[in-house]
Amino acid sequence: MDVERLFDPKLVLRNRRRARALAVPDADFLLNTVAEELLERLSMVERRFEHAVVLHGHTGLVAERLRSGDQTGRVTRLEQHGDFLEPPIEGVEDGITDLETLPAAAATIGLVISPLSLHLVNDLPGLLVQIRRALHPDGLFMAALPGAGTLAELRDCLLQADSEQSGGASPRIMPFADIRDCGALLQRAGFALPVVDSQDYVVRYDTMFDLMRDLRAMGMGNPLAARRRTATNRTLFSRTAQLYAERYGDPDGRVRATFRILYLSGWAPDESQQKPLKPGSAEISLTRVLGRGGDSDSEPM
């Protein structure tokens, strides 16, 4: 079955390659922050993974840290283009694949970790199924992606300015999945013990235009297949910046931008994993726990 394309894959790659070439200092702050958070969460898993795959990490940070640590053996990083595999990392295998495909045989990988790339995938359910199948039993999948609420301030002001000038709205900011959608997708793909949580990172800029320059330097330009192809009137952005300053400006004149990151994890099913208790199998009754009988010390709420 064909999947309707929300994103233009060629434009996604072009945006990311351009950002890589620009190499604006500190423009990868969000990616680095998310990568560190994923690695911190992984460190709390008391498990060694003999083969780990970093899926579209964009930089070598995650792969390098996995290779130098003691939680993983063989490490492979997969990217869209050879540009993202430079410089090579000693002891790390490299490969190229598109955003929609994980080229791996079934049950051959212990850990798949993906920082900030899943939000650009057209067939995310299909990719999640591929990842789950590639994991061997009790293998772990971890990922992070921008969620609903990301760039809410910019979206709000662009919609208002667009409505004022053209009476409608053009798709200028990609849609982001919400936390419930991601949890449902993990379950649908067959992951056991799925967990999704979110964390907001609020960044302040001198103006909205500084935010937009940062987004471009991150490779987060508009990748929508249905984007408007004609040049945008400069007055639209001037009005958007005015609204942004009015609605989301701080007393010092700077403006805020929210990046809401969803952190996902799930395990390939295995018989050794904890199973839910069958109804009626608990050794302590619910009435005792709630303090509605027996000799519980609980106080009523």
Q: Tell me the average pLDDT across 116-129.
A: 95
Alpha carbons 144 and 287: distance in angstroms, whole number: 40
15-34: pLDDT as tens digits: 999 999 888 888 889 999 99
pLDDT at 283 > cutoff 90: no
Q: In this predicted structure, what is the pLDDT of residue 83?
A: 94
Of residues 90 and 281, more confidently modeled: 90
Both tokens assigned to 194: 């799925």
DSSP sequence for 89-111: -TTEEEEE--TT-----TT-EEE
- Of the chain, the percentage scoring pLDDT greater than 90 comes to 73
User: Highest mean pLDDT: which of 112-116, 217-221, 293-297?
Assistant: 112-116
Alpha carbons 74 and 115: distance in angstroms, whole number: 19
For residue 286, is it within any domain? no
Alpha carbons 75 and 226: distance in angstroms, whole number: 37
Alpha carbons 58 and 155: distance in angstroms, whole number: 25
pLDDT category of residue 1 using cuts at 50, 70 and 90: very low
For residue 242, is it within any domain? no
Of residues 172 and 117, more confidently modeled: 117
pLDDT at 51 > cutoff 70: yes
Of residues 227 and 121, more confidently modeled: 121
What residue numbers bound the domain in which 264 lies? Answer: 9-148+175-207+260-273
Mean pLDDT lowest among 168-182, 208-222, 280-294: 280-294
CATH number, domain with residue 199 = 3.40.50.150
For residue 233, is it within any domain? no
pLDDT category of residue 2 using cuts at 50, 70 and 90: low
pLDDT at 159 > cutoff 80: yes
For residue 292, is it within any domain? no
pLDDT at 61 > cutoff 60: yes
The number of domains in the chain is 1
pLDDT at 130 > cutoff 60: yes
pLDDT at 290 > cutoff 70: no
For residue 254, is it within any domain? no
101 in Cβ contact with 121 (< 8 Å): no
Q: Tell me the average pLDDT across 176-203.
A: 96
pLDDT at 113 > cutoff 90: yes
Peptide bond into 137 cis (omega under 30): no
Host H or E run for residue 243: helix 234-248
pLDDT category of residue 212 using cuts at 50, 70 and 90: very high
67-78: pLDDT as tens digits: 999 999 999 999
Q: Tell me the average pLDDT across 189-218.
A: 95
How far is C-alpha 64 from the geometric centre of its chain's CA atoms? Answer: 20
Of residues 279 and 188, more confidently modeled: 188
Residue pointed to by tokens 């949890």: 183
Q: In this predicted structure, what is the pLDDT of residue 165?
A: 79
For residue 111, is it within any domain? yes
Residue pointed to by tokens 């249905």: 226
Alpha carbons 222 and 155: distance in angstroms, whole number: 12
Q: In this predicted structure, what is the pLDDT of residue 272?
A: 85
pLDDT at 277 > cutoff 70: no
For residue 20, is it within any domain? yes
Q: In this predicted structure, what is the pLDDT of residue 173?
A: 82
Host H or E run for residue 216: helix 208-218
Host H or E run for residue 21: helix 9-22
190 in Cβ contact with 132 (< 8 Å): yes
For residue 244, is it within any domain? no
Q: In this predicted structure, what is the pLDDT of residue 223?
A: 83
Q: Tell me the average pLDDT across 162-176.
A: 77
